[in-house]
Amino acid sequence: MSSMFPPDSESYNALVWKIVRQIPSGVVSTYGQIASMIPAPAGVDEQDYERLGAVWTGKAMNAVSSADDGSIPWQRVINSQGGISLPEGSRAAVEQKRRLLQEGVGFEKNGRVNLGQFGWDGPDADWLHENHLLAPKPLRKPPASNPQQLTLF
């Protein structure tokens, strides 16, 4: 199976939007992180889903209508490089950046968001369990477990 759309786009989109509604102001998620929380749909090979999940999530976000704009914080979903995926300079891209800046999300000189600083850790474990979802792929690097201590000698 190698489809550009999930087997049941309507259900997949609804699940993506449910997750996106959990992203708090001031942080961002990525298409891949959201896809990592959703188990592979029935009939879809795990490896195919790993490859296509982020694309399907992007299509779900693209399907957010203006009527849903107030209830789905679409601006908080960016690509894995920390960039806005909409065409640069487009009205929607400018609006996405404006909304993120208004929420306190900063952009570096290269125009990208530092995912280590502004990346979302995902919903709490209880919410994930209640909604039959998986733990998200982390966006932030974990702190070093054994930092080097400077020696004085």
Q: What is the pLDDT of residues 31-74, one digit of tens each?
A: 999 999 999 999 999 999 999 999 999 999 999 988 888 899 99
Q: Look at residue 95 and tell me if it is in a domain.
A: yes
Domain count, the chain: 1
152 within some domain = no
150 occurs within a structural domain: no
CATH of the domain at 114: 1.10.10.10
C-alpha span between 14 and 97 (Å, rounded): 24
For the stretch 98-117, pLDDT in tens is 999 999 999 999 999 999 99
Q: What is the mean pLDDT of the chain?
A: 92
Tell me if 22 is assigned to some domain.
yes
State the residue range of the domain holding 123.
9-130
Residue 70 lies in a domain: yes
This prediction's pTM:
0.89
Alpha carbon distance 127, 123 (integer Å):
6
Q: Determine the pLDDT at residue 66.
A: 84
Best CA proximity match to 15, nearest among 65, 57, 75 = 57
3 in any annotated domain: no
Give the pLDDT mean for 18-32: 98
